[in-house]
Amino acid sequence: MQELFIKICGITNLDDARLASELGANAVGFIFHKGSERYISPEHAVEIARQLPEHLSKIGVFVHADSREIVDTARLVSLSAVQLTGDEGPDDLVDYEFNIIKVFRVRPGFDVETMQNYLVDAFLLDTYKEGAYGGTGKTFDWNVAVQAKRYGRIILSGGLDPDNIEPAVKFVRPYGVDVSSGVEMHPGKKHPAKLRDFISRARNAYLSVEPQ
């Protein structure tokens, strides 16, 4: 049975990144969107990333960024993957040399068939909120995530926290989960106990589900 992929997003400091790794996270996310409360500069991300274990994936989060910015930042920080939120069509993603996580923000009436032509490493499904790109603290209808699994690996995001991660994992059985605001003391600073509980409960829930 494949291990659940757990990504801790909105990392802004080395202590939180190290703790996430020590607690068993598979990846940390650096947000390079200047409109985010969890924005980190590429230069600061480099300082953090170079002090983290090799096995921990470093994922860069971009919002409506141009390809040159994405490529330059990915190379500078030595990112494992790039997570893209924007108007990218399927043809816009074929030439990247990096692993691609394509974000879809789910609102009522979202059509999962929109995803079918994208050849990416994973999809991340987050909750749609006008003007917000992640960190909303709101969930969406998880039935959408279940349906979306027919088109590829699904990383479930949107309003996840230690209290709801177990039912989320058991219901969706995703490839991975992503959390930011649900394990924070305030934007950009993680809460150690919440981080520990989230990772532990996510792992236990995944192991308790019979393989499909």
What is the residue type of 58? K
201: region left, alpha or beta (phi > 0 left; psi from -120 to 50 alpha): alpha
Give phi and psi for 178, each to the nearest 5.
-135, 135
Whether 198 contacts 179, CB under 8 Å = yes
DSSP 3-state of 5? strand
Place of tokens 């699904």: 154
126: annotated active-site residue: yes
CB atoms within 10 A of CB 87: 7
Distances in whole angstroms, Cα of residue 134 to Cα of each of 76, 178, 195: 24, 10, 18
Spot the catalytic one: 16, 126, 161, 178. Answer: 126
Spot the catalytic one: 9, 16, 161, 178. Answer: 9
Whether 171 contacts 154, CB under 8 Å = no
CB atoms within 10 A of CB 180: 28
- The token pair that represents 44 in the structure block: 């600061």
Active site residues: 9, 126
